[in-house]
Amino acid sequence: MPYRLALFAVSFLPAVAMGMTVRYEVDPAHTYPSFEADHMGGLSTWRGKFNATRGEVSLDRAAGTGSVTIEVDIASIDFGHDEMNRHAIAADLFDAADHPRANYTGTLAGFRDGAPTRVEGKLTLRGVMHPLALDIVSFKCMPHPMLKREVCGADARAVLQRDAFGISAGKDHGFDMRVALRIQVEAVQVASAPAVRAD
């Protein structure tokens, strides 16, 4: 292994071994919450994603603790269908004019070998807050080859009832209110903030 690469890899070991909290900033270019929603009571499935997401993750792999804060720009919704995009941000659905952002805050949990397997959190959508747990399907941290900082990535999923958040359009016509969330996220270690040693 070349000396510089070895030094780069070793630079991440103390935070894990000594029990330190590391902060990461969500990379909006590699983070796209997506969803699947019923159309006409099983006639088909609509799929979409949000193109603008920001947030922060903190992680102490040795202690098995961490947290996540995510903010999603509702107007960035993208079905790949311009008319549906316009309809989705209207008052009877996401109501982006009055509720321009969705927010999720949670605690990383269920650690196995230094990696979380779920998030216990709360989602605020359309001005309504409800508990929402995420199952983490995959999780990985590694040195970023270009940024020369650690990057962590995860794939997570959950199911929510959209009418619980006031999005009940189509319910009277037999639309299933369950929405499947599929969340891909990458977060890069904050360069200006050194790891904080846990007491």
In tens, the pLDDT along 105-146 reads 999 999 999 999 999 999 999 999 999 999 999 999 999 999
Distance between CA atoms of residues 189 and 10, nearest Å: 15
Range of the domain at 179: 3-197
Distance between CA atoms of residues 29 and 192, nearest Å: 20
CATH for 10 = 2.40.128.110
The pLDDT value recorded for residue 2 is: 47
Q: Give 22's pLDDT tier (boundaries 50, 70, 90).
A: very high
Q: Give 191's pLDDT tier (boundaries 50, 70, 90).
A: confident
Token reading at 104: 């999720």
Contact 155, 183 (CB under 8 A): yes
**The pTM is what?**
0.86
Domain tally for the chain?
A: 1
132-183 pLDDT, tens digit per residue, is 999 999 999 999 999 889 999 999 999 999 999 999 999 999 999 999 999 9
Residues 6+ apart with CB under 8 A from 108: 57, 59, 65, 66, 67, 68, 116, 118, 119
**Residue of higher predicted confidence among 106 and 3:** 106
Report the mean per-residue pLDDT for the chain.
90
- Exposed / middle / buried, residue 191 (Cβ in 10 Å: 0-12, 13-18, 19+): exposed
Distance between CA atoms of residues 23 and 187, nearest Å: 9
Q: What is the 8-class DSSP label of residue 92?
A: T
Nearest to 133 by CA among 103, 99, 158: 158
- Exposed / middle / buried, residue 33 (Cβ in 10 Å: 0-12, 13-18, 19+): buried
Q: Is the dihedral of CA 58, 183, 13, 65 positive or negative?
A: positive
